Structure 1
C-alpha cells in the first residue's frame, strides 16, 4: 500500500496544488481517466472547506491531505484541526457517512461543499469533533495489466 501525505498552510492558493497532486497520484493508482475530474473537484472542495475552517477558527496548523493507494481502491483523506462540537455521523445508502440532518452546521462549515462532494464521490465519510474534522473519499482502481 502506497501513501502520500501533503501538508499545506491554510491558504486558498495551495488548494490548486493539492488538486494537482491528488489527480497525479490517482492516475498512477489506476483510477479511471474519466473520473479524474471528479477527483480534482472533490479534493478542491474538501481542501477549500478545510482552509475556510482553519481561517474561521484561527488555526495555524497545516491542512493535511493523505492519498492512499491499495489493490482495489484509491482513498483521499482531508483533515482539518478546527475544533467544533462533535456531530453524529450517519451512513448513507452507499455506505458513506454524512453529518446527521438534525445537527446544525458549526460556524464556518460549508454545507454546500459537502453536498458537492457527496454528489461527486460514491464512497465518502465525513466526521467532525473537538479535535477537528476528516473527509474520507475513495474510488475504485483498475489493476495495471501484467506485461509478459
Structure 2
C-alpha cells in the first residue's frame, strides 16, 4: 500500500496544489482517466471546505490530505482540525457536521460542498469527532498492464 500525505496551511491558494497532487497520485494508482476530473473536483471541494472551516474557526493547524493506494482501491482523506460540537460519529449521507449550525458558514457552503462531493464520488464517508472532521473518498483502480 503506497501512501502520500500532504499538509498545507489553510489558504485557498493551496487547494489547487492539492487537486493537482491528488490527480497525479490517482493516475499513478490506476484510477480510470475518465474519472480523474471527478477526483480533482471532489478533492477541491473537500479541501476548500476544510480551509473554510479552519479560517472561520481561527485554526492555524494545517489541512491534512492522505492519498492511499490499496490493491483495488484508491482513497483520499481530507481532514480538518475543527472539533465537532456533538458526540461525533460517521455518516455516509452528506450534511452538516454533528453539532450546531456554528460549523456552517453563513452561505451554507459547507452543506453545498458535501452535496457536490456526494454527487461526484460513489464511496464517500464524512466523520467528525472532538479532534476534527474527515471526508474519506475512494475510487476503484484497474491493475497496470505488464508487457512481456
Q: TM-score, normalised by structure 1?
A: 0.89
Over aligned residues, Cα RMSD in angstroms? Answer: 2.0
Return the offset for 1:100.
Answer: 8.0
Q: Is the 8 A contact 2:2 2:68 kept in 1?
A: yes
Q: Is the 8 A contact 2:72 2:141 kept in 1?
A: yes
Return the offset for 1:108.
Answer: 3.3
Which residues of structure 1 form unaligned runs of 5+? 91-95
Partner of 1:89: 90
Q: 1:118 to 1:106 in 2, by over 3 A?
A: farther
In structure 2, C-alpha distance between the alignment counterparts of 1:101 and 1:17, rounded to whole Å: 26
In structure 1, C-alpha distance between the alignment counterparts of 2:101 and 2:33, rounded to whole Å: 34
Q: 1:125 to 1:26 in 2, by over 3 A?
A: same
Q: 1:46 to 1:6 in 2, by over 3 A?
A: same
Partner of 1:53: 53
Return the offset for 1:129.
Answer: 2.0
In structure 2, C-alpha distance between the alignment counterparts of 1:14 and 1:112, rounded to whole Å: 20
In structure 1, C-alpha distance between the alignment counterparts of 2:76 and 2:93, rounded to whole Å: 15
Q: Is the 8 A contact 2:94 2:115 kept in 1?
A: no
Which residues of structure 2 form unaligned runs of 5+? none
Q: 1:101 to 1:61 in 2, by over 3 A?
A: closer
2:103 partner SS: coil
Deviates more, 1:81-90 or 1:6-15: 81-90
Q: TM-score, normalised by structure 2?
A: 0.89
Deviant stretches of 4+, over 2 Å:
86-90, 96-109
Alpha-carbon deviations, 1:40-81, whole Å to 9, x = none?
Answer: 000000000000000011111000000000110000000000
Q: 1:103 to 1:60 in 2, by over 3 A?
A: closer
